[in-house]
Amino acid sequence: MREPNTVILRSRHITPTLDDMILDLNGYIVFSKIDLRSGYLQLELNEESRNIKTFTTHVGLRRYKRLSFGVSSAAEFFQNTLSNALEGLDGVRNISDDIIVFGRNQDEHDKRLEKLFVRLKEKNLTLNKAKYEFNKNKQEFYGHIFSADGISADLRKISAVKNTTIPKDVGEIRSFLAMTNYVGRFIPNYSTITEPLRRLTKQDSKWEWTSEQQQSFDKLKNELVADRVMSYFDPNKETMLIVDASPVGLAGLLTQYGKIIAYASRSLTDVETRYSQTEKEALAIVWAIEHFHLYSFGQSFTLVSDHQPLETIFNSPKAKTPACIERWRLRLQGYNFKVQYKPGKVNAADYLSRHPTPTTSIACKHSQLAEEYVRYLTDNAVPKAMTLDEIADSTQKDSDLQTVITALKSNRWDKHESTTLDTFSRLRYELTVVPVNDSEIILHDNRIVIPKDLQMRVIDLAHEGHQGIIRTKQLLREKVYFPGIDKLVEQTCKSCIPCLASTPKNVFEQLQMSEIPNNVWENLSMDFCGPFPNGYYVMVVIDEYSRYPVTETLTKLTAKSEMPLLDKTFSIFGIPKVLKTDNGPPFNSQEFRNFADNMGFKHRKITLL
């Protein structure tokens, strides 16, 4: 199936997540689980699809009549088919061929189970009797244990982790961490416990299994066997989302009346560690709300942060914020929440943020990628702004500006051949020398005079947004000055490759030859020449077939003046089928349109080149 799989169209079907199942099973106390027998083989293939499943045997070619393993789209097709078959049944959910039935009491559960059996019989789906599990108060499903109290990890699933041996290399550590991460939601401070192990997985890290790694390994296995139950989410109860950001990570804690619904943390990327603390705290709000989207969207909730400025930023729609935080505010417009400030010492997420879990969510990675890209541009692509010390140092090295400073202090302006010094001489009453630390700079009115070696850098800073010559000049004139600033800006903008690439250009279509008429005097072209020195105009009519010209003189370019001349010409050579003209005033009048209709020729206007 390797070759067919490359061209099979994959259908999109969303498999329920663990959070979906937690939300669905909230408040139920009786559970049953059933399993389909040979799930894929219960779906029959149509005639065309069977040919794709042809294979060679010792007795000739054979082909599958039913869906089997190996088809790239089999999983989503099977999930979609079974979900459609169970559609409309209350208290029934499936993931692949595993089906769970749940009820708030025994009677409700039994009725739902009976309806499920009826539906499966109608759809000709058979069950695996050996895997029946009926009337349980705790039910294993999707690798977790669901009960009336909440959700917990399946101890049978983690027994393999508890009995595993010490990893021998980096590959085994990564496999071990991937296995424990599946139930990491039940382990407080998961990232703190696993940090010594994760340290060995870093690139160029030396392999050294010490007592620190052994303690981490043992503690993780002990935490896995601890019996922890997370409460179900109740949309009718007051919800509080507690967030925090530390220099190394973000954390979110979802609670209802003091009971933990879920907690999560993730580490910051290299770019995010360079955010200001306000930006980190704002990022924690965005990440936590979107991470708990299933619980937060469509619900009114309180968001608790230990960073007091965020209370004003997010609660006041008119608050002025940095561009990145403004983007994050726009992303959260669909959520209904109020930010409440609480000091870090009473913030439950404070410790969790300082010991974050490595990010594993694909959606979160996509969001991080977009933010990191924007941050990379702002941190690296934009030239760094210069300081007064830099300008002062460059001014001290600029011989022309040092001459100007000497002249300003002594009030003696000698004649110079340099055009730059001549310009400053004419502006001497508008110039001021200002000390900066141990050096000096020059001001022209309230603008800084830029030395020669920094002039291109200043222009690059002003033109970084590629906003054009006029806008670049405006930005520079407000802050800085140097002789020839306008000319240098124009040269820089006109030679800017991104500007040239993005500036729209007028693209002219290639000239097309007009078709030659079949006979003489069928298609005519007409225009005017003049006025000439004597005040006359010349009306020119050319036959497109023979190129024979006819000319007449007139004193005014009006329809009333030209129509008698055309009438005269047509009376001699005949009335054409088509008369081509430009869009000039004589040809746009209603009189000329009536003239063309009465004479019986078509007036065609053409665009001038």
What are the tens digits of pLDDT across the range 263-278? 677 878 888 888 888 8
What's the rounded mean pLDDT across residues 523-528?
A: 90
Report pLDDT for 170: 82
Same domain, 220 and 308: no
Sign of CA dihedral 78, 80, 84, 88: positive
The residue with greater pLDDT, 310 or 236, is 310
Instruction: Identify the band that residue 366 occupies on the pLDDT scale cut at 50, 70 and 90.
Output: very low
528 and 597 belong to one structural domain: yes
- The pLDDT of 299-309, averaged and rounded, is 87
The three-class DSSP label of residue 93 is: strand
Give a yes or no: residue 193 inside a domain.
yes
Q: Which of 113-127, 178-192, 465-479 has the lowest mean pLDDT?
A: 178-192
Closest CA to 542 of 588, 573, 583, 518: 573
Q: Which of 321, 352, 383 is the last residue of a domain?
A: 352
On whether residue 435 sits in a domain, the answer given is yes
Mean pLDDT, range 464-473, rounded to an integer = 82
Q: Per-residue pLDDT for 253 more than 70?
A: yes
Per-residue pLDDT reduced to its tens digit, 112-131: 899 988 988 888 888 888 88
Residues 85 and 166 in one domain: no
Q: What is the DSSP letter of 453?
A: G
* Segment 322-345, tens digit of pLDDT: 778 888 888 888 888 999 888 765
**pLDDT tens digits for 392-415?**
889 889 888 888 888 888 878 777
Question: In terms of pLDDT, which residue wins out, 561 or 294?
Answer: 561
pLDDT at 380 over 50: no
Averaged pLDDT for residues 85-97? 82
Torsion, Cα of 270, 276, 282, 286 (10° steps):
-20
- Assess whether pLDDT exceeds 70 at residue 424: yes
User: Considering Cα of 211, then 213, then 216, then 221, what sign does the dihedral take?
Assistant: negative
**Are the CB atoms for 541 and 570 separated by under 8 Å?**
no
Radius of gyration of the chain (CA): 40
CA–CA dist 267, 566 (Å, integer): 86
Same-domain pairing of 373 and 422: yes
- Of residues 477 and 320, the one with the higher pLDDT is 477
Choice among 11-15, 75-79, 171-175, 417-421 with the minimum mean pLDDT: 11-15
The domain boundary, picked from 226, 248, 283, lies at 226
Band the pLDDT of 149: cuts 50, 70, 90: confident
Measure the CA angle with vertex 354, ends 348 and 360; round to 5°. Answer: 100
Q: Are residues 333 and 398 in the same domain?
A: no
DSSP state string for 233-266? P-TTS-EEEEEEE-SSEEEEEEEETTEEEEEEEE
- At 440-461, the pLDDT tens digits run 888 887 788 999 988 888 888 8
Q: Domain limits at 594?
A: 523-605
Q: Mean pLDDT over residues 570-578, rounded?
A: 89
Do 29 and 127 share a domain, yes or no? yes
Closest CA to 132 of 206, 34, 57, 223: 34
Could you tell me if residue 513 is inside a domain? Answer: no
pLDDT score at 332: 86
Please report the beta strands in 73-143, taking only residues with DSSP state E, as ranges in sequence order: 92-95, 98-103, 133-136, 138-141
* Confidence (pLDDT) at 503: 67
Are 17 and 108 found together in one domain? yes
Q: Which of 226, 247, 271 is the last residue of a domain?
A: 226
State which H helix or E strand residue 350 sits in: helix 349-354
* Whole-number average pLDDT of the chain: 78
Please report whether residue 148 resides in a domain: no
Is the pLDDT assigned to residue 358 strictly greater than 60? no
Strand order in the sheet with 431-436: 431-436, 439-444, 447-449, 480-481
* pLDDT computed for residue 286 by the predictor: 92
**451 plus 344 within the same structural domain:** no
Q: Quick check: is 508 in a domain? A: no
CATH of the domain at 205: 3.30.70.270
What's the pLDDT at 350? 53
Has residue 361 got a pLDDT over 60? Answer: no
Predicted confidence (pLDDT) at residue 376 exceeds the cutoff of 50 = no
Q: Is residue 358 part of a domain?
A: no
Mean pLDDT throughout 497-514?
A: 69
Which of 155-159, 360-364, 478-482, 518-522 is predicted least confidently?
A: 360-364
Is 170 in contact with 51 (CB distance < 8 Å)? no
Shared domain for 264 and 374, answered yes or no, is no
Do the domain assignments include residue 87?
yes
CATH number for position 465:
1.10.340.70
For residue 379, what pLDDT band results from cuts at 50, 70 and 90?
very low
Whether pLDDT at 351 is above 50: no
Whether the per-residue pLDDT at 548 is higher than 80: the answer is yes
455 touches 447 (CB < 8 A): no
Q: How far apart are CA 286 and CA 342, in angstroms?
A: 18
Give residue 285's pLDDT band: very low, low, confident or very high (50, 70, 90): very high
Q: How many structural domains is the chain composed of?
A: 5
Answer whether residue 249 is part of any domain.
yes
Which pair of tokens denotes residue 555?
A: 């004193």
CATH number, position 586: 3.30.420.10
Tell me the average pLDDT across 584-595: 84
Are 404 and 492 found together in one domain?
A: yes
| pLDDT greater than 70 at residue 245 | yes
Please check whether residues 113 and 172 belong to one and the same domain.
no
pLDDT-based confidence at 556, cuts 50/70/90? Answer: confident
Higher pLDDT, 536 or 355: 536
The more confident residue out of 12 and 428 is 428
One domain for residues 214 and 255 = no
pLDDT at 283: 92
